[in-house]
Amino acid sequence: MDVIERWSGRYACLLQAALRLTNEQFAAQLGIAVRTVATWHSDAAVVPRKEMQQLLDSAHEQAASTARQRFALLVAGERAPAASSPAGAQALRVAIAVVIRDNQVLLVCRRDDDASGITWQFPAGVIKPGGKAETTTVRETLDETGVHCAVRQHLGSRLHPVTGVLCDYFLCEYLAGEATNTDAVENVDVMWVPKNSLTRFIPVDTIFPPILAVLEEQT
């Protein structure tokens, strides 16, 4: 895809992911406020005003060819499930919990070490048809780690740059419980890690930019 007829919050976020930029970096490149980028992440359907449309056009046109290719793949990947799914089927969606306790964040180590190279991840679970993302977030965190948490903020949604799965991200507050590996079938370990050490466990270019932004705000 070489042309976007009308940019939406979703397309803007996909361009940001293709450029591998944080909220702050993307805002700086476009010359806009960081809160505007955050709005795109929180409302995928929002249509930026005309001036923003032009800024996004320019960012897309001036991007390196590899970034443009990544963007085209992300857009194609987002449209593919709706086109190929049987009538009434729901595209695979995953709820992801970013659980904060003081200056630490909760991670799990997946037993499946596949070709994507993903090992350490945030607690996550598949959102069942008709289910609520927030409920899934809290339930799966407890099932995987033994930690009780409460959803505090929806950080946004995206197609994961490695897996291509639609992910909903939630900032969660720790309530109670010891972090233990309560799902030994899928996970190897569970651990609280310092927020400023997160990128030692998860490659920075695969972390959803709003996660990095909110962790920086709370540091």
Domain boundaries defined on the chain = 9-84, 93-217
**Spatial separation of the C-alpha atoms in residues 172 and 182, rounded to whole Å:** 19
In this predicted structure, what is the pLDDT of residue 74?
80
Q: What is the pTM of this model?
A: 0.59
In this predicted structure, what is the pLDDT of residue 71?
86
In this predicted structure, what is the pLDDT of residue 137?
93
Q: Is residue 45 packed enough to be buried (19+ CB in 10 Å), middle (13-18) or exposed (0-12)?
A: exposed
Residue 118, both tokens? 């993903």
136 vs 77, 170, 209, CA distance in Å?
24, 11, 22
In this predicted structure, what is the pLDDT of residue 99?
96
Q: Walk along the chain (219 residues) and give the pLDDT tens digit of each residue.
A: 456 888 988 889 889 888 988 888 888 999 988 888 887 877 777 888 888 999 999 999 999 988 888 888 887 766 554 444 444 444 578 899 999 999 999 999 876 544 444 578 999 888 888 889 999 999 999 999 999 999 999 998 888 776 677 889 999 999 999 999 988 777 888 999 999 899 899 888 888 889 988 888 765
In this predicted structure, what is the pLDDT of residue 81?
47
**Spatial separation of the C-alpha atoms in residues 154 and 162, rounded to whole Å:** 21
Tell me the H-state helices in the chain.
9-19, 23-30, 34-42, 50-62, 65-84, 133-145, 209-217
CATH no. for 93-217: 3.90.79.10
In this predicted structure, what is the pLDDT of residue 217?
77
Report which DSSP code applies to 78.
H
